[in-house]
Structure 1
Amino acid sequence: MVHRQALTTGMTGMTALAVACAVAFAAAPAATAGSSPGESRADCPRLSTKLKWYGDNRERLQRMIDEQGTCSGKSARSGPSGQGREQGDGQRPVAAFDWDNTVVKNDVSDATLAWMLRHDKVLQPRSWKSTDKWLTDDTHRALTRACGTSVPAGRPLPTSTDTGCTDEILDVYLDEETSDGKAAFAGEWNHRRTVPGYVWLTQLFAGHSPAALTGFAREARKEALAAPVGSEQKVGTHTMAGYVRYYEQQRDLISTLRKAGFDVWIVSASAEPIVRAWTPGAGIPGNRVIGVRNVVEDGRLTTGVQGCGDVKDDTGGDVLTYMDGKRCWLNKVVYGIEGAEAFRLQDPAHRIAFGAGDAETDVTFVDDATAGHLAVNRNKTELMCRAYDNADRRWLVNPMFIEPDPKQKTPYPCATEGYMNTDGVAGPMRRADGSVVPDQKDRVF
């Protein structure tokens, strides 16, 4: 998912081993002709030297892999990870990646919704108001007016031809407003755990089976991979990205991490059945994917959302795989941590070794990593404030690998608006010791 901006608290409780790894990751020298870190170990899995990374990022990533993986002499087992049950085995170092705009360019949820709207796959709800608890009365009326009531509940809306209905749905989702400019969502929510628009998108898939939604995503995938880089598509009267591409550098990084014994996971704010249509192309098995998980009844997705931590299922989406919710879901699924404790920063032995993301949705889990953090620069304030501050000396920043944004965002207002509070009000970003992160210049773009 791609539409917003925010971040989390600093890291605490590092062990001496984590500190040593941090120094190694931060201090890795740039490669010189004929040499690179770890080259003396011919059996160490190597990142491709044919794929371009910014600066010395590849060499620093390689050093982290060598320090943490099978070449470290630690207990990490060799061979590809992720062949067993969903929960992590506790023996391998864990790497976690966001999906949209981190492993691929563009958003697979947007691509799937666009395909569904063009193929009449969105089903008429019982009432629009019933789809989401934050949906306003104005939005209910606007959607009812635009999409009509002649189609029975549970039957497909004719969105391929009904431009007014399609446009209203996209206005609510993309702009969080009705077509006449009224707020689409209202009420209170924890802004570090959920976004009503993200919840509502998953609720648009209600009535289909998870397998059917994965099938729609596969069809959208075919179109998006075949479309030229930079292309756009018309959906209703809206213009949306028309293509998606895997980042070859990230596919290579994932492959190398798995060969080096890392347990590699995807944690995404997109609906999990959609992400599962894409992850095989990056070498990620289905039991290593965590996305938004809607409650399933009688084999079909409902508007209810599975909870995490002390948030129960079917509470309307109070926690998603979003910001602090991504930490919770990783703690729950990978480390088996339950209850409110799943929202808390864990000791280094129960935290990921490496995290990669591109936006506010990712900042908490990426910052939690004990050995390395990768920020793909999309000008998202909270993530980039944390990355450029680089308090633990383990952050890497890389421009987008395809169509990087040439615009600098300078300075990032870290000292005043760098951190999104739970009430949605931005405030100063602070380090683990309480000091305020100063505004940061955008240097890698």
Structure 2
Amino acid sequence: MRYRRVLAWTTVVAAALAAAPAAAPAERRPSCPRLSQRLDWYGDNRAHLQQVVDERGSCAGRGGRPVAVFDWDNTVTRNDVTDATISWALRHDQILRPASWRDTSAWLTDAAGTALTDACGTDVPVGAPLPTSTRPRCTDEILEIRENGRTVSGAAAFAGQWNHRRTVPQYAWVPRLFAGHTVAELSSYAREARAEALAAPLGATRTLGTHTVPAYVRYYDQQRDLIGTLRRAGFDVYIVSAGSEPVTEVWARGVGIDARHTVAIRSVLDRRGRITTRNQGCGGVPVNRGEAIPYIDGKRCWINQQIYGVDGAAAWDRQDRRHRPAIAGGDADTDVTFVADATGAHLVLNRNKSEIMCRAYDDADGRWLVNPMFIDPLPPKPDPYPCSTGAYNAPDGSRAPVRRADGSVVPDRPDTVH
């Protein structure tokens, strides 16, 4: 009798199970947001990125919010948005005369200070707009120092000591050109420059003084799609740039990234809310004159400090896997440290920059993805990257071999993705 009861119960349960819908297997879970199939990526880069989205996104049921971090200039956009803003400001007389050009950088040389004073003049009061639109010599000096770190006559514009993996004086100098303006004013200039650059034809240039500079900027459609896909998949997406933060914030909004998720060079403001010649610090470095900007190792520091809450000197160190980005993307040596820290994919747009391309082509963990620039890609570099001798940017400014985590030297690598 007991056996018949068990058999009857088993029959009922079996019938009920048969009538109920089958449990969905893992592969039939709602799929993660998909990258667009209409946009071209090199090789199987899209598939690799999609795999990380699928494995790390909220749709995978892992919990938490994975992080993705991207450089901005020439990573999310073609051309430099801070340079576009400088160009607009020079053509609209929006650089204010400093009391002394030497005050604008801890490393500016006497030769550069004299060249700027001679070219830009002293006939307008301190704090008043310089007439750069009608003084091409002034524009020339500013652009030559910004672009090449020297004066028009060829003299070094910066001298002294700095950690070359934490800052570069000509990058740190740029936000100081807007000293005396409020953040709201600088943001308005960035919006004007943005509208102008997006409206300019692809490939357009303009002449400022004797310099020919890009007149256009474009968002990369692939990067816009990637960022949007990551956000829909539950990623916290950040921008970390060595540009001016108010300018980068204006452009980042175009891909849905708000100010809280945008990190760039942060100027200290005075009591009236005006930009000063000092920067906020990172990794135990206090308010400073440019010693710790988001540049090479400085980008890791700012990511660790602002995203993961790592305080003090520890922010300069590589963190454990739980406190590193899942995806990181960049285009230049200034990005190499944080891009290498990523645990899921290291995306590199090929701009022929030696240290990051040595890391990318070495592909030590099998997760490096090299892609040509999406607009007007560069031709192949004719010679191999000098990974074994001089591609690494040493803190003292010298060049050294690129080494793997185990200390072995990366051999020279040919340029194969273009």
Report if the CA contact (8 A) 1:355-1:369 is conserved. Answer: yes
Structure 1 position 138, deviation (Å): 0.7
CA–CA separation in structure 2 for the residues paired with 1:275 and 1:42: 35
Q: Which residue of 2 aligns with 1:304?
A: 278
| Worse overlay, 163-172 or 221-230 | 163-172
SS at match of 2:388: helix
Q: Paired residue for 1:193?
A: 166
* Residue matched to 2:39: 51
Identity of aligned residues (%): 59
Match of 1:204 in 2: 177
SS at structure 2 position matched to 1:160: helix
Q: What is the match of residue 152 of structure 2?
A: 179
> Where do residues 206-355 of structure 1 align in structure 2 (5 Å cutoff)?
206-297=179-270, 298-313=272-287, 315-355=288-328
Give a deviation string over 1:354-385, Cα, whole Å, max 9, x none. Answer: 10000011110000011111000000000000
Aligned to 2:263, the other structure's residue is in SS state: strand
1:400-426 deviations in whole A, cap 9, x for unaligned? 000001232431000111211100101
Secondary structure in structure 2 of the residue aligned to 1:417: coil
8 Å Cα contact 1:379/1:409 also seen in 2: no
Higher mean alpha-carbon deviation, 185-194 vs 278-287, is at 278-287
Alpha-carbon shift at residue 42 of structure 1 (Å):
4.8
Letter in 1 for 2:406: D
Match 1:129 to one of 89, 93, 102? 102
Question: What secondary structure is seen at the aligned counterpart in 2 of 1:152?
Answer: coil
Deviating beyond 4 angstroms after TM superposition, the runs of 4 or more aligned structure 1 residues are 38-42
What code does the residue aligned with 1:262 have?
F
The CA distance in 2 between the partners of 1:240 and 1:192, in whole Å, is: 27
Structure having the larger proportion of residues in helix? 2
- State the distance in 2 between where 1:430 and 1:157 align: 47
Tell me the distance in 1 between the aligned counterparts of 2:111 and 2:266.
Answer: 28
Q: Which amino acid aligns with 1:136?
A: T
Deviations 1:61-107 (A, max 9, x none): 101110111232200xxxxxxxxxxxxxxx31100000000000000
Q: Check the 8 A contact 2:380/2:417 in 1, yes or no.
A: no
TM-score, normalised via structure 2 length: 0.92
Deviation string 1:24-56 (CA, Å, 9 cap, x unpaired) is: xxxxxxxxxxxxxx9855532000000000011
Structure 1 residue aligned with 2:75? 102
Distance of aligned partners of 1:102 and 1:40 in 2 relative to their CA distance in 1, 3 Å threshold: farther
**SS of 1:388 mapped into structure 2:** helix
After superposition, the Cα gap between the structure-2 partners of 1:63 and 1:306, relative to the gap in structure 1 and judged at 3 Å, is: same
Q: Name the CA distance, whole Å, in 2 between partners of 1:74 and 1:407.
A: 41
Which letter does structure 2 place at the counterpart of 1:312?
P
Aligned to 2:413: 440
2:136 corresponds to which of 116, 141, 163? 163
Are the structure 2 counterparts of residues 150 and 429 from structure 1 closer, same or farther at C-alpha, using a change threshold of 3 Å? same
Contact 1:97 1:357 in 2 (8 A): yes
Q: Are residue 73 (structure 1) and residue 47 (structure 2) matched?
A: no
Could you tell me how far 1:205 is from its partner in structure 2? Answer: 0.9
Which has more radius of gyration?
A: 2
Q: Which runs of 5+ in 1 are unaligned?
A: 1-37, 76-90
5+ long unaligned stretches in structure 2: 1-25
Higher relative contact order (CA 8 A, sep 6+): 1
1:117 aligns with 2:105: no
1:309 counterpart letter in structure 2: G
Does the aligned pair in 1 maintain the 2:380–2:416 contact within 8 Å? Answer: no
**SS class of match (2:134):** coil
1:430 partner letter: R
CA distance in 2, matches of 1:260, 1:353: 13
What RMSD, in angstroms, separates the aligned Cα atoms of the two structures?
1.1
TM-score (norm 1): 0.87
